[in-house]
Amino acid sequence: MTIGTLTLYIGVTALVLTGLTVWLAKHKTVWMSFLQYFCGTLFVFSGFVKVVDPLGTAYKMEQYFAEFQSTFADTWLSFLAPMFPWLAAHSELFSMVMIVFEIVLGVMLLIGAWPRFTAWAFFLLVLFFTFLTGFTYLTAYVPDGVNFFEFSKWGPYVETNMKVTDCGCFGDFLKLKPKVSFMKDLVLLVPAILFLLFPQHMHQWFDARVRSWIVAATSGVMLVYGWSNYVWNLPDIDFRPFKVGVNVAERKALEEEAAANIEIVAYRARNKRTGEVVEIPFEQYLVEYKNYPKEAWDLEQITTEPTVPRTKISDFEVSNLAGEDVTAHILTNPNYHFMVVAYELWYETRYESYPVQDSVFTVDTVVSRSPAGNLDTTYVRRLVEVKTRTERRPIYVFDSDYVKRYTDYLNPLLAQAKEAGYEVYVVVGYADPAVLEAFAVQTQARWPFYMADDILLKTIVRSNPGLILWHNGTIVDKWHWRKLPEWGELQARLSNEVK
How are beta strands 319-320 and 277-281 bridged, if at all? unpaired
Same domain, residue pair 51 and 109: yes
**For 123-182, how does the pLDDT look when each residue is reduced to its tens digit (9 = 90+)?**
999 999 999 889 888 988 888 788 888 888 887 777 778 877 777 888 888 888 888 999
CA angle 436, 440, 446 (to 5 degrees): 130
| Cα–Cα distance, 213 to 153 (Å, whole number) | 53
Considering the domain architecture, whether residues 210 and 152 belong to the same structural domain is answered as yes
Cα R_g (the chain), whole angstroms: 31
The mean-pLDDT minimum among 89-98, 150-159, 190-199, 306-315 falls in: 150-159
The residue among 164 and 122 whose pLDDT is bigger is 122
49-62 pLDDT, tens digit each: 999 999 999 998 88
Inside any domain, residue 242: no
Helices (H), 25-164: 30-51, 54-73, 83-89, 91-111, 115-138
User: Do 384 and 483 sit in the same domain of this protein?
Assistant: no
The torsion defined by the Cα of 469, 472, 475 and 481, in degrees rounded to 10, comes to 20
Q: How much of the chain, in percent, has pLDDT values that exceed 90?
A: 58
* Neighbouring-strand partners of residue 366: 378
Cβ contacts of 206 within 8 Å, gap of 6 or more: 111, 214
Q: Does 241 map to a domain? A: no
Does residue 433 lie within any of the structural domains?
Answer: yes
Q: Is the domain of 124 the same as that of 37?
A: yes
Question: Is residue 141, in this structure, part of any structural domain at all?
Answer: yes
Determine the pLDDT at residue 193: 96
**Residue 373 — pLDDT band, cuts 50, 70, 90?**
low
Q: Is residue 65 part of a domain?
A: yes
User: Within this chain, do residues 383 and 447 fall inside the same structural domain, yes or no?
Assistant: no
Name 194's Cβ contacts closer than 8 Å, sequence gap at least 6. Answer: 32, 35
- The answer to whether residue 339 is domain-embedded is yes
Q: Are 255 and 306 in contact (CB under 8 A)?
A: yes
pLDDT number for residue 230: 92
Max Cα–Cα distance, the chain, nearest Å? 131
Please compute the mean of the pLDDT values over residues 392-413 and round it to a whole number.
93
Q: Which long-range contacts (CB under 8 A, 24 or more apart) does 377-384 make?
A: 383/359, 384/360
Range of the domain at 426: 314-346+399-498
- Position 66 scores a pLDDT of 87
Residue 409: per-residue pLDDT: 95
Q: The dihedral of CA 21, 26, 32, 33: what is its sign?
A: negative
- Both 379 and 461 in a single domain? no
CB 298 within 8 A of CB 270: yes
Arithmetic mean of pLDDT over the chain: 90
Nearest to 91 by CA among 117, 69, 72, 119: 69
pLDDT band at 479 (very low <50, low <70, confident <90, very high): very high
Q: What is the pLDDT of residue 482?
A: 95
Q: Pick the closest to residue 302 from 166, 160, 155 (CA basis).
A: 160
My answer on whether 381 and 435 are in the same domain is no
Q: Say if residue 282 is in the same domain as residue 391.
A: no
| Close Cβ partners of 484 (under 8 Å, ≥ 6 residues apart) | 409, 410, 413, 467
CA 364 to chain centre: 66
Model confidence band, residue 378 (pLDDT cutoffs 50, 70, 90): confident
Asked whether 402 and 477 are in contact (CB, 8 A), the reply is: no
Mean pLDDT value of segment 251-265: 92
Same domain assignment for residues 336 and 431 = yes
Same domain, 286 and 322: no
User: What is the mean pLDDT of the segment spanning 74-85?
Assistant: 84
What pLDDT is attached to residue 338?
97
pLDDT at residue 407 in the model: 94
Query: Does residue 254 fall inside a structural domain?
Result: no
Alpha carbon separation from 154 to 106, 157, 316 (Å, rounded): 37, 9, 34
Strand ranges in 251-343 using DSSP code E only, listed in sequence order:
264-271, 277-281, 297-303, 319-320, 336-342
Our count of domains for the chain comes to 4
| 168-to-177, 225, 376, 467 alpha-carbon distances in Å | 10, 19, 84, 25
Whether residues 270 and 407 share a domain: the answer is no
pLDDT at 12: 96
Long-range contacts of 181-186 (CB under 8 A, 24+ apart): 181/133, 181/136, 181/137, 182/130, 182/133, 182/134, 182/136, 182/137, 184/3, 184/133, 185/126, 185/129, 185/130, 185/133, 185/134, 186/130
Q: Above 70 in pLDDT, residue 394?
A: yes
Q: What is the rounded average pLDDT of the residues 245-256?
A: 96
- Whole-structure pTM value: 0.85
Q: Is the pLDDT of residue 499 over 60?
A: no
Residues 95 and 189 both lie in one domain: yes
Whether residue 209 has pLDDT greater than 60: yes
Q: How confident is the model at residue 293 (pLDDT cuts 50, 70, 90)?
A: confident
Dump pLDDT digits (tens) for 318-349. 999 989 999 999 999 999 999 999 999 999 99
User: Cβ of 391: how many Cβ atoms within 10 Å?
Assistant: 10
pLDDT score, position 161: 81
**What angle is formed at CA 172 by the lines to CA 167 and CA 177, rounded to 5 degrees?**
40
Q: What is the pLDDT of residue 153?
A: 82
Q: Does residue 14 lie in a domain region?
A: yes
The alpha carbon of 153 is separated from its chain's Cα centroid by a whole number of angstroms, namely 30
